[in-house]
Amino acid sequence: QCSMAQHSSALKRLSKLTKSSSSASPLLLAQSLFTVFARIALSSKREPTRERSIKLGAKWLAVADAEMFGLVIAAVAASSQVSSQHVRFRSVQLLREVLDELPEDSEVLGDPLPPAKVFKGWQYLDVELVSNTWFRSHDCLFSLVSGVMRARMSDRHNAVRLQAIAGCARLHDDHAECDLAADMMHQLTTLMGESDSKEIRKACIHAITLDSVTMPHLLARLEDVAADVRCTVFTVMGAKVAPNALPTRYAARLLKAGLTDRDASVRKAATKMIQSAWLPALGRSEVAVMAMLNVERDADVAEDLAKYFSTQAKSSASVARLRPSRDALHAAAAAMQANEGEGEGGIDKLAEAAFLWRGAVEG
């Protein structure tokens, strides 16, 4: 029944204990920590006290010496292969929490696996799992943990899969250049498109690293049957992708899907992406947002965007300034000057400003 404050105090004492112990103590400490973990894992209860205990164990492992770290991680990884759903969930949860606690420059996952013989006599641990072919096929802790996460992404239970997805995301962020990381990202994108669970699809959307390979898979979720999955696409795009780095074809697809979606919550998510991410990144220039499109090729999308801006007159001063003008060319030039200045390159935004003017007078 300890609080987080009490756990923080306990963590300081545990850290001192780890540093001041004799050379034989890491094994004893690892056994003790795993025993406590196993008792938590064997219970199906999701009580706050158990959740806090898992977090405390993860924080302790993150500051433990390499030997203790390797012993506990290997034992927990082995436990992730058992038949009990509760143990699998807690095993993957603890591994994921440890990954979150490790500093970005940590190299401890590169250490080799401990020998199987040191686990003999461990309470609650099936030593055969540590000795089996699958376990011994890994040459380091990173390979072992990534293998656990990839295996558990195919677990029968969504709670386990969600923990594994979050763990894979962290592993990929810290080891993006590794071949195993590329395999994990491929598995995530596949799961994002094939899973029957919308919670799994949403978790994958948050987890994947966006690049030229994964972006088409993400944009395919704009046609997802679940509205909150479609909303998640706009949330992630606004948070992870700079608007000036987005190809025009992707920007057009995003805006067309978002501004015309049949569900009001999706339209709201799309406009929030524009207002909270794109406009601030582009100097609050509506013309610059319009310039993300090829207005000749995507004229229908540009019209929808211009009409949207016209409804935001209070927060869109450039559109408000366009309303009094009767001549489209003069209005476009006025908007171009107001948004882009009179320097070189301003004429490139003439078509975009004209769309804004038309949206203003027709809106």
- The single residue listed with the structure tokens 């948004």 is 339
pLDDT for 46: 82
Q: Give the residue from 79, 96, 3 showing the smallest Cα distance to 35.
A: 79
Q: How far apart are CA 324 and CA 305, in angstroms?
A: 20
User: What is the residue extent of each domain of the chain?
Assistant: 1-19+26-175
pLDDT for 355: 58
339 neighbors 318 (Cβ within 8 angstroms): yes
The amino acid occupying position 60 is: W
151 neighbors 187 (Cβ within 8 angstroms): no
Q: How far is CA 262 from CA 70, 193, 254, 332, in A?
A: 51, 21, 14, 32
Instruction: Give residues with Cβ within 8 angstroms of 115, minimum separation 6.
Output: none
130 neighbors 74 (Cβ within 8 angstroms): yes
Mean pLDDT of the chain: 83
CB crowding 105-143: b at 16 or more within 10 Å, else e = eeebbeeebbebebbeebeebebebbeeeebeebeebbb
The amino acid occupying position 56 is: L
* CA 91 to chain centroid: 21
Q: How far apart are CA 110 and CA 145, in angstroms?
A: 11
pLDDT for 330: 52
Residue 85 has pLDDT above 90, yes or no: yes
User: What digits encode the pLDDT tens for the residues 194-233?
Assistant: 999 999 999 999 999 998 899 999 999 999 999 999 999 9
Query: What spatial distance separates the first Cα and last Cα of the chain, rounded to whole Å?
Result: 60
pLDDT for 321: 47
- Pick the residue with more confidence: 287 or 301? 301
Q: What is the mean pLDDT of the segment spanning 23-41? A: 86
User: What digits encode the pLDDT tens for the residues 11-29?
Assistant: 666 766 666 655 457 888 8
Band of pLDDT at residue 183, cut at 50, 70 and 90: confident
